[in-house]
């Protein structure tokens, strides 16, 4: 099979490219390097079956050509990361909505199946844990910029479902829960690379709020395996699936574990949300997926635990900054 991966030079996209090439498929990556990086795909450059194009999904003629050449499409290009969303809401909303519209329209013309990457952020402030795919989305006021990300991704989901129901163009949606692993950047706020980098530099680990909020961290290799499984299956079409670990980790406990595993002497400091993200910021206390649906659809289970995740990130960060090792 030949796959097109939009956002393929990003953190998740590059691991997806690795996995598809590994099983003998061909991969074309389309990425504008806005948040992705050449270093994520450099190791694939001379690999047979791999090509990449540095350009935007908004280049319609190019997108049409790349869709033509592919059998299926993974649409991962998006503006992600709480910091980016809070600081650049126009970019977040426009990127996420426009690119998905364009990818779905181009793919539909050729009846090519599309995986649309969504996010657990769409559940918003819901307290109905574990979150089921048919549960309500509970978002805050539009004056609170954070929710623009969830709203833009919810529109992407509505659109992907509509393309299937109204036009019979096959789509499948994955809601990713805190996917982490090597190559993720901390620039846009993601907590695991930030804590690991802070620990390796012997800087304070910045826990936002009281640190009792939890997240379910999912290794990117588990996440990518789920995405491929959902695309390989026929009866997943037109459906939404949670894709994440069920094991909750409080953020303060995460900071302590990162310190232990790196042997760092860094102190842990508590930073009010207001200081981190400005006034009007809301965080969610818990975010836990129900895996019932994906388990029964494709038998998927995450298998990589928190320590293994952290060790893989620590090794990666040490390889980038050898002096910190």
Would you please indicate which residues are annotated as catalytic (active-site) residues?
149
> Residue 129 or residue 190: which is nearer to ligand UDP going by CB?
190
* Cα distance between the two ends of the chain: 40
Q: How far apart are CA 119 and CA 156, in angstroms?
A: 11
Q: Which of 34, 51, 88, 206 binds ligand UDP (CB under 6 A)?
A: 206
> How many residues are present in the chain?
325
Collapsing DSSP states into helix, strand and coil, what is residue 297? helix
Tell me if 151 sits within 8 A of 123, measured CB to CB. Answer: no
218-219 and 179-180 as β-strands: parallel, antiparallel, unpaired?
A: parallel
For 171, the 3-state DSSP assignment is strand
Nearer Cβ to ligand UDP (115/123): 123
Residue 194 binds ligand UDP (CB under 6 A) = yes
Q: Which of these ranges, 125-133, 206-214, 224-232, 302-310, lies near ligand UDP under the rule CB under 6 A?
A: 206-214
Output the CA angle 11-123-281, nearest 5 degrees.
80
How many residues sit close enough to ligand UDP to count as binding (CB under 6 A)? 14
126 or 206: CB nearest ligand UDP = 206
- The only residue of 12, 93, 207, 227 in contact with ligand UDP, by rule CB under 6 A: 207
User: Taking CB under 6 A as the rule, does residue 191 contact ligand UDP?
Assistant: yes
**Is residue 152 within the footprint of ligand UDP (CB under 6 A)?**
no
**Closer Cβ to ligand UDP, 152 or 213, answer by number:** 213
Task: Write the binding mask 77 to 116 for ligand UDP: x where contact by CB under 6 A, - elsewhere.
Answer: -----x----------------------------------
Contact flag: residue 179 with ligand UDP (CB under 6 A)? no
Binding mask 109-128 for ligand UDP (x = CB under 6 A): ------------x-------
If you search the block for the tokens 């842990």, which residue do you land on?
268
Sheet holding 2-6, edge to edge: 50-54, 26-31, 2-6, 72-75, 113-119, 171-176, 240-243
Residue of 55, 94, 256, 283 that binds ligand UDP (CB under 6 A)? 283
Residue 231 vs residues 21, 226, 239, 297: alpha-carbon distances, Å: 15, 9, 11, 11
The piece of 110-118, 136-144, 208-216, 222-230 that touches ligand UDP (CB under 6 A) is 208-216
Q: Which of 213, 236, 245, 264 binds ligand UDP (CB under 6 A)?
A: 213
Task: Quote the CA–CA distance of 172 and 188 in Å, as a whole number.
Answer: 27
Per the CB < 8 A criterion, the answer to whether 200 and 324 are in contact is: yes
Half-sphere exposure of 110 (CA within 13 A, CB side): 18
Question: Could you tell me the smallest distance in angstroms from the CB atom of residue 43 to ligand UDP?
Answer: 25
Asked if residue 67 binds ligand UDP (CB under 6 A), the reply is no
CB of 71 to ligand UDP, least distance (A): 32
Q: In this complex, which beta carbon is closest to ligand UDP, that of residue 251 or of residue 314?
A: 251
CB of 313 to ligand UDP, least distance (A): 12
| Residue 256 to residues 188, 207, 284, Cα–Cα distance (Å) | 22, 10, 21
| Of residues 179, 237, 185, 227, the one with CA closest to residue 5 | 227
If you compute the radius of gyration of the chain from its CA atoms, what whole number of angstroms results?
Answer: 19
Type and span of the H or E element at 184: none
Interaction pattern, residues 224-263, with ligand UDP; x per rule: CB under 6 A: ---------------------------x------------
Binding site for ligand UDP (CB under 6 A): 82, 121, 178, 189-191, 194, 206-208, 213, 215, 251, 283
């Amino acid at each position: 099979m030949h796959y097109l991966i939009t956002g393929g030079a990003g953190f998740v996209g590059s691991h997806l490219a690795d996995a598809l090439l590994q099983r003998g498929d061909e991969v074309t990556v389309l990425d504008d390097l806005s948040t992705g990086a050449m270093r994520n795909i450099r190791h694939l450059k001379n690999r047979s079956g791999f090509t990449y194009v540095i350009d935007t999904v908004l280049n319609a003629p190019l997108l049409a050509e790349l869709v033509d050449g592919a059998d299926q499409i993974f649409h991962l290009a998006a503006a992600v990361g709480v910091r980016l969303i809070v600081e650049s809401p126009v970019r977040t909303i426009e990127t996420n909505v426009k690119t998905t519209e364009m990818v779905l329209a181009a793919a539909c013309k050729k009846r090519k199946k599309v995986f649309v990457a969504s996010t657990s952020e769409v559940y918003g402030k819901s307290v109905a844990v574990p979150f089921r795919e048919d549960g309500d989305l509970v978002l805050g006021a539009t004056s609170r910029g954070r929710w623009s990300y969830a709203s833009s991704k919810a529109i992407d989901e509505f659109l992907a479902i509509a393309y299937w129901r109204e036009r019979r163009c096959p789509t499948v949606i994955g809601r990713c829960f805190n996917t982490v692993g090597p190559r993720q950047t901390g620039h846009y706020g993601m907590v695991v690379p930030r804590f690991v980098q802070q620990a390796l530099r012997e800087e304070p680990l910045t826990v936002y709020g009281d640190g009792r909020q939890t997240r379910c961290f999912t290794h990117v290799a588990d996440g990518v395996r789920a995405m491929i499984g959902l695309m390989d299956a026929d009866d997943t079409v037109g459906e939404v699936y949670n894709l994440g670990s069920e094991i909750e980790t409080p953020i303060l406990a995460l900071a302590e574990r990162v310190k232990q595993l790196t042997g760092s002497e860094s102190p842990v400091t508590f930073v009010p949300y207001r200081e981190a993200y400005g006034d009007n910021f809301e965080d969610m206390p818990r975010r836990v997926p129900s895996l019932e649906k994906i388990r029964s659809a494709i038998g998927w289970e995450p298998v990589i635990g928190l320590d293994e995740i952290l060790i893989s990130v620590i090794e990666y960060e040490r390889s980038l900054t050898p002096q910190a090792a």
